[in-house]
């Protein structure tokens, strides 16, 4: 059985023009259920190496800022902890899929269409994320999956409603068919893979700001550029690829952009 765990980075509300957090990144990690306990054990070894308790959560933002228990480490040690957390567990991850929305670049037409359907940046990204993942399971893996998301998200009701609508939508190229049950909320303290999604998403968020050449990112990001690209290059081989994985012809991309098939 495959499990999908997701978390977001850069979610600051329903607006598109947040200067401090211009990218909303939603990251989904696909794992074989048999590897979940292995990831837990591998993470415990990393925590022991850094003299941290097995109950310690690993999240990118507090770690890199040196908050709470992480203040005992210098900047390089904090980066190495996160790098090791990702690198050691990548071997047990099947695929990673993410949607990195550069919010200020979403044009007015798309904003208006999404708004008419009751959608704002988070739910726009989520719908793209879940449709693409489901079509990957339907056409490539030909298997079912379970979906878990961080219980701290404020969009729990909308996520569940969107899934319900997508399971019954008439457009077969958008219809969710492989999700076994309703999406499940899970507290990050109970899931190392939610913590992994958070950490990986943090770096994908920053990479997206460098990736779009016409976007003027904050200068303060420049000092982290090498580390951001180092982590990005580690995780890139695990990405779900539309072309390589033959998904381009399996999804109604035009309808997905119009949002007229869903109303939250």
For 169-207, write each residue's pLDDT tens digit: 999 999 999 999 999 999 999 999 999 999 999 999 999
- 181, 146 contact by CB (below 8 A): yes
Domains of the chain: 2-35+53-60+93-258 (3.30.420)
Q: Which residues contact 152 (CB under 8 A, 6 or more apart)?
A: 187, 188
What is the rounded average pLDDT for all residues in the chain?
92
Over 90: is that where the pLDDT of 264 sits?
no
209-245, pLDDT tens digit by residue? Answer: 888 877 777 777 888 899 999 999 999 999 998 777 7
Read off the pTM.
0.94
Mean pLDDT along residues 59-88:
96
The more confident residue out of 146 and 261 is 146
Highest mean pLDDT: which of 11-15, 44-48, 116-120? 44-48
Indicate the pLDDT class of residue 69, thresholds 50, 70 and 90: very high
């Amino acid at each position: 059985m495959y499990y999908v765990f997701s978390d977001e980075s850069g979610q600051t509300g329903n607006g598109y023009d947040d200067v401090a957090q211009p990218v909303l990144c939603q990251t989904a990690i696909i794992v074989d259920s048999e590897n979940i306990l292995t990831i837990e054990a591998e993470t415990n070894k990393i925590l022991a190496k850094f003299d941290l308790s097995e109950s310690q959560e690993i999240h990118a933002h507090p770690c890199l800022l040196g908050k709470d228990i992480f203040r005992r480490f210098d900047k390089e040690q904090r980066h190495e902890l996160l790098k090791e957390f990702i690198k050691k567990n990548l071997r047990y991850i099947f695929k990673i899929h993410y949607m990195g929305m550069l919010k200020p670049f979403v044009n007015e037409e798309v904003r208006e269409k999404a708004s008419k359907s009751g959608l704002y940046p988070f739910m726009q990204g989520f719908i793209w994320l879940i449709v693409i993942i489901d079509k990957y399971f339907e056409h490539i893996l030909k298997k079912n999956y379970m979906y878990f998301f961080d219980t701290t998200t404020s969009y729990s009701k909308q996520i569940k409603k969107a899934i319900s609508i997508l399971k019954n939508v008439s457009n077969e190229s958008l219809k969710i068919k492989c999700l076994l049950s309703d999406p499940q909320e899970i507290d990050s303290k109970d899931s190392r893979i939610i913590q992994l999604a958070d950490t990986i998403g943090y770096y994908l968020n920053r990479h997206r700001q460098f990736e779009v050449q016409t976007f003027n990112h904050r200068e303060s990001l420049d000092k982290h550029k090498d580390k951001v690209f180092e982590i990005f290059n580690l995780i890139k081989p695990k990405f779900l690829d539309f072309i390589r994985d033959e998904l381009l012809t399996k999804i109604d991309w035009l309808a997905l952009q119009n949002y007229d098939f869903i109303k939250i």
